[in-house]
A and B are shown apart, each in its own frame.
Chain A
Amino acid sequence: MADDDDVDEPVAEKAAAGGSPILDLPESLVLHILSFLTDARSRHRVALACTRLHAAERATRAELSLRGDPRSPGFLFLAPHFCFPALERLDLSLVSPWGHPFLSSAPAAGASSSSSAQHLNNPEAIFEQNEFIAGRLAHCFPAVSSLAVYCRDPSTLTNLTPYWRGSLRSVKLVRWHQRPLNLPDGADLEPLLQTCTALRSLDLSEFYCWVEDIVMALTAHPAAAAALTELDLGLAGATNGFNSPQLGAIAGSCPNLSKLVAPCLFNPRFPDSVGDDALLSLATSCPQLTVLRLSEPFEPASTSQREEAAITVAGLVAFFAALPRLEDFTMDLQYNVLEAAPAMEALARRCPRIKFLTLGSFQGLCKASWLHLDGIAVCGGLESLCVKNCQDLTDASLAAIGRGCGRLAKFAIHGCDVVTSVGIRRLAAALRPTLKEVSVLHCRLLHTAECLTALSPIRDRIESLEINCVWNAEQPCGVANGTTECNPEVFQEKECDLEDDELGEVSYESASKKCRYMEFDDIDSWEMLRSLSLWFSAGQLLSPLISAGLDSCPVLEEILIKVEGDCRTCPRPASRTNFGLSDLAGFPVLAKMKLDLSEAVGYALTAPAGQMDLSLWERFYLHGIESLQTLCELEYWPPQDKEVHQRSLTLPAVGLLQRCIGLRKLFVHGTTHEHFMTFFLQMPNLRDMQLREDYYPAPENDLMITEMRAESWLRFEVQLNSRNITD
Chain B
Amino acid sequence: MGIVEEAHNLRVVGEGKRGVIVLAHGFGTDQSVWKHLVPHLVADYRVVLFDTMGAGPTNPDYFDFTRYATLEGYAFDLLAILQELGVSSCIYVGHSVSAVIGALASISRPDLFSKLVLLSASPRYLNDVDYYGGFEQEELDELFEAMGSNYKAWCSGFAPLCIGGDMESVAVQEFSRTLFNIRPDIALSVAQTIFQSDVRSLLPLVTVPCHIVQSTKDLAVPVVVSEYLHKHLGGDSIVEVMPSEGHLPQLSSPDIVIPVLLRHIQRDIAV
A residues within 8 Å of B by Cβ? 111-116, 605-610, 612-613, 615-616, 619, 626, 644, 650-652, 655-656, 658-659, 673-676, 678-679, 682, 703-709, 711-712, 715
Contact = CB atoms under 8 A, between A and B. Distances in A.
Interface in B235-265: 245-248, 251-252
B1 A114 contact: yes
A679 B150 CA distance: 13
A711 B51 CA distance: 15
Interface in B130-165: 150, 153-154, 157-161, 163-165
Interface residues of B, number: 52
A608 B159 contact: no
A436 to B, nearest CB: 38
A656 B165 contact: no
A613 B170 CA distance: 13
Contacts of B30: 706-707
Given A606-B246, A674-B59, A675-B182, 19 more contacts: A111-B11, A112-B10, A114-B1, A114-B6, A115-B1, A606-B177, A613-B164, A613-B165, A615-B165, A655-B161, A659-B159, A673-B183, A674-B56, A675-B56, A678-B183, A704-B38, A707-B32, A712-B57, A712-B59
A460 B51 CA distance: 57
A605 B219 contact: no
B161 A674 contact: no
A708 B1 CA distance: 19
Given A112-B10, A605-B29, A619-B163, A704 B34 contact: yes
Contacts of B114: none
Contacts of A116: 1, 6
Contacts of A703: 35
A705 B49 CA distance: 13
B251 A606 contact: yes
B13 interface: yes
| Residue of B34, B160, B166, B170 with highest tally of chain A CB at under 10 A | B160
B2 interface: yes
Contacts of B105: none
B20 interface: no
A611 to B, nearest CB: 9
A706 B51 CA distance: 10
Nearest to A114: B1
Contact of B219 (A609, A619, A651): A609
A656 B159 contact: yes
Nearest to A609: B170
Contacts of A113: 12
A706 B57 contact: yes
In the A-B complex, the 10 residue pairs with the smallest Cβ-Cβ separation, listed nearest first, are A655-B159, A673-B56, A704-B35, A675-B183, A114-B1, A675-B60, A616-B165, A606-B248, A606-B252, A615-B163
Contacts of A705: 32, 35
A248 B186 CA distance: 60
Nearest to A706: B32
B89 interface: no
Interface in B30-61: 30-35, 38, 51, 56-60
Interface string B54-97: 00111110000000000000000000000000000000000000
A453 to B, nearest CB: 37
Nearest to B29: A605
B177 A673 contact: no
B1 A615 contact: no
Given A606-B252, A652-B159, A656-B159, A704 B32 contact: yes
B57 A707 contact: yes
Contacts of B246: 606, 608
| Residue of A111, A613, A682, A709 with highest tally of chain B CB at under 10 A | A613
Contacts of A610: 170
Given A674-B60, A678-B60, A709-B9, A658 B32 contact: no
23 contacts: A111-B11, A112-B5, A112-B10, A116-B6, A605-B29, A606-B177, A608-B245, A613-B177, A615-B163, A615-B180, A615-B181, A616-B166, A644-B251, A651-B160, A658-B159, A673-B183, A674-B58, A674-B59, A675-B56, A675-B58, A678-B183, A704-B31, A708-B57
Contact of A674 (B57, B219, B251): B57
B178 interface: yes
Contacts of B245: 608-609
Contacts of A615: 163-165, 177, 180-181
Nearest to A672: B56
A388 to B, nearest CB: 38
B5 A114 contact: yes
Contacts of B11: 111-112
| Residue of A114, A115, A612, A615 with highest tally of chain B CB at under 10 A | A615
| Residue of A111, A679, A703 with highest tally of chain B CB at under 10 A | A679
A658 B35 CA distance: 31
Contact of B161 (A111, A609, A619, A673): A619
Contacts of A711: 6
B181 A673 contact: yes
Contacts of A706: 9, 30-32, 51, 57
A616 B162 CA distance: 9
B158 A659 contact: yes
| Residue of A116, A673, A704, A707 with highest tally of chain B CB at under 10 A | A704
A469 B203 CA distance: 59
A268 B246 CA distance: 46
Contacts of A659: 158-159
Contact of B251 (A605, A656, A673, A679): A605
A377 B157 CA distance: 58
| Residue of B13, B163, B183, B248 with highest tally of chain A CB at under 10 A | B163
Nearest to B252: A606
A659 B245 CA distance: 37
| Residue of A644, A655, A674 with highest tally of chain B CB at under 10 A | A655
Nearest to B30: A706
Given A112-B10, A655-B154, A704-B32, A607 B177 contact: yes
A265 to B, nearest CB: 32
Contacts of A626: 159
A111 B13 contact: yes
Contacts of B13: 111
| Residue of A115, A605, A679 with highest tally of chain B CB at under 10 A | A605
Nearest to B163: A615
A678 B165 CA distance: 24
Contact of B56 (A115, A658, A707): A707
Contacts of A619: 161, 163
A682 B1 contact: no
Contact of A605 (B51, B153, B248): B248
